[in-house]
Structure 1
Amino acid sequence: MLWATRLLDVGDDLYIRELFEAQRAALGTPRDMMLIAVDEAGCKRRLFVGLPDEELLNAYYGFDPCLRRNLPKAPALIAGHQYVFQAMFQSGG
């Protein structure tokens, strides 16, 4: 899975969620797509998008690729399969 991240103001992430949900639905809701977030200081939110294909990243303006090891330890799931999220972040996977 390819991961990318972007820092936004809290509340400015709605269009990213809508984009992600539309893209995920168009692809048949693949289990290896995930949108997660962590809130940061100063009313900022860091989003992380997990995608199965590098070409899908073109739709996410301003996102920079990141490594799996750089993902936060305790993010919040915004969109994606709950069991995949739990396996990755809540069971130490």
Structure 2
Amino acid sequence: MADVYHALDDETRRLVLDELAASDGKTLFEICSLLTTRHGLGLTRQAISQHLGVLEAAGLVVTERRGRSKFHYFNPGPLAEITRRWPVDERTDR
């Protein structure tokens, strides 16, 4: 679970997850283009690739190779595990 928190600790990685959650199955080129055009980030492909590696190691991103292309998909499972660990009940003390 520490991997998930580490992955979510970075703004760029959260933006990558936002983009994949909005529309899954993007290549590295597509992710880089979206981060540049929508968010004004001028990071290199290598930097984005490293961020994707952290997200993949945490289980938040899964990949699929098709030919020479690698597609990235958002996996909400680790986030669901966090909510299962600390369920939020309705509070009456507010």
TM-score class, shorter: 0.3 to 0.5
Point out the structure with the larger strand share.
Answer: 1
| TM-score, length basis structure 1 | 0.34
Query: Larger relative contact order (C-alpha < 8 A, sep ≥ 6)?
Result: 1
Bigger radius of gyration among the two? 2
Point out the structure with the larger helix share.
Answer: 2
